[in-house]
A and B are shown apart, each in its own frame.
Chain A
Amino acid sequence: MNKTATHIIGARVLHALALAAFVAFALFPLFWLLKVSLTPDDLMYGEGVRLWPSRVTLDHYGAVLRHSQFPLFFRNSLIVSAATGLLATAAASAAGYAFSRFRFRGKAWVVGVMLISQMFPLVIIVAPIFRLLAPLGLTNSLTGLVLVYTAFNTPFAAFLMQSFFEAIPKDLEEAAMMDGATRFQALRRVILPLTLPGLAATGGFVFTAAWSELLFSLMLNSSTAVSTFPAGLLGFVSKFSVDFGQMMAAGVLALLPVGAFFLLIQRYLVQGLTAGAVKG
């Protein structure tokens, strides 16, 4: 074996090791979540720090699903996140398209204000938002949460969508318009199918943001009937103890829809749909 080949193999091994180390680092909290959720209560503190308990159980999952309000929180979260995902992505697409394709009066201002809106720490505006929503009957309501989440996620999502639209050559919609389409038909039949990866990414981003949001959910909704699961997880913390087993089991369950969602859209995230559109 010559020297260069050794070098190449050495580099590959190092590369693989670095990646493996990173993956282990990133996934360790998830592993720990899973481990604790499977550990029986009597072994929780009894075995010291171990990578895997000597005995595993699904009791925590059973308790969470049967004896807690977790299924209700889960359903609430699903409704809020899906509605936010759809609304924010729709609004962001419209805004992103306009930013990318049209020149209009006040465009710089609109973009500027949207950017500034992203600079405030959310804690500052919780109280004003509560004061706004309370008289409208939108506190203690899933609709109120959807509104707030949509409002906060749309600016960033709009910039994200703008960059996706900008990656699509203008020639394509102009060609469609020459071919007898209105601008809206060109958007629907040519541009939108090509923006699917962008829509999926944006939708995924907004969905995840809404799914894991705690602050507003906690502040705006006090009734457990409309709690989302991050707020619901706090229910496992009582005055004298924390039920780690059930909390972690609930956490694992909460990961499932997000995991499933990304599994569904990953095809669009990876695929370069615009390949072959123009010269090359």
Chain B
Amino acid sequence: MATITLSNVDKDYGGGPVLRGIDLEIREGEFVALMGPSGCGKSTLLRLIAGLEEPSGGEIRIDGRRVNEVAPKDRDLAMVFQSYALYPHMTVRENMSFALKQRRLPPAEIKAAVEAAAVKLGLTGLLERKPKALSGGQRQRVAMGRAIVRNPKAFLFDEPLSNLDARLREQMRYEIRKLHRELGATSVYVTHDQVEAMTMADRIVALNDGAIQQVGSPQDLYDQPANLFVAGFLGSPPMNFLDATLAPDGALVVEGQTLARISPPAGLAAGTTLTLGLRPERLALTTPTEGTAVRVDVVETTGTGRVVHLALGPQRLKLFTMDPRPLAPGDVMGLVVPSGAPLLFDPVNGARLS
């Protein structure tokens, strides 16, 4: 078990920075997700921790020891690759023994460790098979097995579930989470999938454009996003963003209609234009006389409820409701925005204002 500390880490391949000023402390036993769109630098960050890339600046420490110049093999970290990277010419048993043989452990000990891991992952019957004779899910398990037999200081996961189909992914999500609880090992998990990040992580590190946007618990990031990027990345359907103006009395005016009233945060002058963020599931519909008048555009049924696309003048927004009342495109309804739902963002730099 280990702590991993990154201070002011930069990475530049020569074509402009890939990562800028990364400061991050990963605590012992914590499950941290590095989340962001493709190209945000999350995989590079993981490879820097692994030692597969060298940082251009800054410092990486594992358990307080500076590891910038330490080879991957001497960092005692295990990595699960997106492609699984199983050794194709070796059986499952040989794949899982590789790291232990590298350490010259006694054969009996290796055998016991591999078989214990196989039991844990349901691979017992497959130990003598080659990777090509395994299904995608089984290969994924072998990749996990190869990591856990070593009992490393920390686990690094590089989008390990992205090659699995949706059902298997859900199951492996649960199993990885369960393994983490059993082993209590520090884990760093790279994903572009907000559902994986939300469901698995103790803390999420949201990355965009090579910089950390926000670090916090999944609920914190969901409820208190630091900026438009984090707000828009988490949640499905995603948060609505509307152009609004703040009236002197604290009313949030969108297309000439008052959507909600807030007590304006200090330093925010009346008449300021801002971006209003509204989570679809926090909105409700009522009779046209009660709320802000909106027109129903499209209704999508999801099974648990319905996603209703609404038009407010030229602006569009989505609402998620479990209310079974009949709704048809073209209906005019009243939109209710509960107090506490509006999040205010600076339309220029995207930072949250409230």
> Within 8 Å of chain A (Cβ to Cβ): is B157?
no
- B88 — which chain A residues lie within 8 A by C-beta? 172, 194, 273-277
- A276 near B146 with CB under 8 A, answer no
- B77 near A178 with CB under 8 A, answer yes
> Within 8 Å of chain B (Cβ to Cβ): is A224?
no
Q: Chain B's nearest CB lies how many Å from the CB of A278?
A: 4
- B89 near A273 with CB under 8 A, answer yes
- B85 near A182 with CB under 8 A, answer no
- A178 near B87 with CB under 8 A, answer no
- A276 — which chain B residues lie within 8 A by C-beta? 86, 88, 130-134, 139
Q: Cα distance A5–B87 when bound, in Å?
A: 45
Q: Chain A's nearest CB lies how many Å from the CB of B278?
A: 39
- One of A169, A177, A278 near B52 (C-beta < 8 A): A177
- B130 — which chain A residues lie within 8 A by C-beta? 276
- B156 — which chain A residues lie within 8 A by C-beta? 178
Q: Cα distance A271–B79 when bound, in Å?
A: 29
> Within 8 Å of chain B (Cβ to Cβ): is A279?
yes
Q: Quick one: which of A102-140 are within 8 Å of B by CB?
A: none
Q: Quick one: which of B232-246 are within 8 Å of A by CB?
A: none
- A181 near B131 with CB under 8 A, answer no
- A166 — which chain B residues lie within 8 A by C-beta? none
Type the 1/0 row for A211-222, where 1 means its CB is closer than 8 Å to any CB of B.
Answer: 000000000000
- A180 — which chain B residues lie within 8 A by C-beta? 73, 99, 102-103
Type the 1/0 row for A243-274, where 1 means its CB is closer than 8 Å to any CB of B.
Answer: 00000000000000000000000000000011
- B139 — which chain A residues lie within 8 A by C-beta? 276, 279
- A172 — which chain B residues lie within 8 A by C-beta? 85, 87-88
- A279 near B136 with CB under 8 A, answer yes
Nearest residue (CB) in A for B163 is A279
> Within 8 Å of chain A (Cβ to Cβ): is B291?
no
- B150 — which chain A residues lie within 8 A by C-beta? 179
> Within 8 Å of chain A (Cβ to Cβ): is B201?
no
Nearest residue (CB) in A for B104 is A180
- A190 — which chain B residues lie within 8 A by C-beta? 87
Q: Chain B's nearest CB lies how many Å from the CB of A187?
A: 13
Q: Cα distance A171–B83 when bound, in Å?
A: 7
Q: Chain B's nearest CB lies how many Å from the CB of A135?
A: 46
- One of A174, A189, A275 near B81 (C-beta < 8 A): A174
- One of B77, B84, B98, B102 near A278 (C-beta < 8 A): B84
User: Could you say which of A169, A181, A193, A278 has the most chain B C-beta atoms within 10 Å of its C-beta?
Assistant: A278
> Within 8 Å of chain A (Cβ to Cβ): is B335?
no
Q: Quick one: which of A159-194 are within 8 Å of B by CB?
A: 169, 171-172, 174-182, 185, 189-190, 193-194
* CB within 8 Å: A-B pair count: 87
Query: Are A181 and B73 also in contact (CB < 8 A) when A276-B131, A276-B133 are?
Result: yes
- B87 near A182 with CB under 8 A, answer no
- One of A176, A178, A279 near B84 (C-beta < 8 A): A279
Query: Are A171 and B85 also in contact (CB < 8 A) when A178-B79, A185-B102, A279-B163 are?
Result: yes
| Number of A residues with CB within 8 Å of any CB on chain B | 25
- B50 — which chain A residues lie within 8 A by C-beta? 174, 178
Q: Chain B's nearest CB lies how many Å from the CB of A169?
A: 6
Q: Cα distance A189–B136 when bound, in Å?
A: 24
Nearest residue (CB) in A for B140 is A279
- B102 near A181 with CB under 8 A, answer yes
- One of B77, B78, B83 near A169 (C-beta < 8 A): B83
- One of B73, B83, B98 near A182 (C-beta < 8 A): B73
- One of A175, A185, A194 near B85 (C-beta < 8 A): A175
Query: Are A169 and B85 also in contact (CB < 8 A) when A178-B77, A276-B134, A279-B163 are?
Result: yes
Query: Are A175 and B102 also in contact (CB < 8 A) when A181-B73, A276-B131 are?
Result: no
- A174 near B86 with CB under 8 A, answer no
Q: Chain B's nearest CB lies how many Å from the CB of A257?
A: 29
Q: Chain A's nearest CB lies how many Å from the CB of B128?
A: 14
> Within 8 Å of chain A (Cβ to Cβ): is B195?
no
- A182 — which chain B residues lie within 8 A by C-beta? 71, 73
Q: Cα distance A169–B88 when bound, in Å?
A: 11
Q: Chain B's nearest CB lies how many Å from the CB of A173?
A: 9
> Within 8 Å of chain A (Cβ to Cβ): is B334?
no
- A175 near B73 with CB under 8 A, answer no
Nearest residue (CB) in B for A276 is B132
Q: Cα distance A174–B46 when bound, in Å?
A: 13
- A177 near B72 with CB under 8 A, answer yes
- B52 near A179 with CB under 8 A, answer no
Q: Chain A's nearest CB lies how many Å from the CB of B158?
A: 9
- A178 near B83 with CB under 8 A, answer no
- B98 — which chain A residues lie within 8 A by C-beta? 176, 179, 181, 189
- A278 near B83 with CB under 8 A, answer yes
- B89 near A179 with CB under 8 A, answer no
- A181 — which chain B residues lie within 8 A by C-beta? 73, 98, 102
Q: Cα distance A277–B83 when bound, in Å?
A: 8
- B134 — which chain A residues lie within 8 A by C-beta? 276
Q: Cα distance A147–B16 when bound, in Å?
A: 46
Q: Quick one: which of B281-321 are within 8 Å of A by CB?
A: none
Q: Chain A's nearest CB lies how many Å from the CB of B260?
A: 48
Q: Chain B's nearest CB lies how many Å from the CB of A271?
A: 11
- A174 — which chain B residues lie within 8 A by C-beta? 50, 52, 72, 79, 81, 85
Type the 1/0 row for B252-289, where 1 means its CB is closer than 8 Å to any CB of A.
Answer: 00000000000000000000000000000000000000
**A-B complex: 9 closest residue pairs judged by Cβ atoms:** A276-B132, A171-B85, A180-B102, A278-B83, A179-B99, A276-B131, A175-B85, A277-B88, A279-B163
Given contacts A174-B85, A177-B72, 10 further A-B contacts (CB under 8 A): A171-B83, A172-B87, A174-B50, A177-B73, A179-B102, A180-B73, A277-B85, A278-B86, A279-B84, A280-B136
11 A–B pairs (Cβ distance < 8 Å), ordered by A: A169-B83, A174-B52, A175-B79, A175-B146, A176-B87, A178-B79, A180-B99, A180-B103, A190-B87, A193-B89, A276-B134
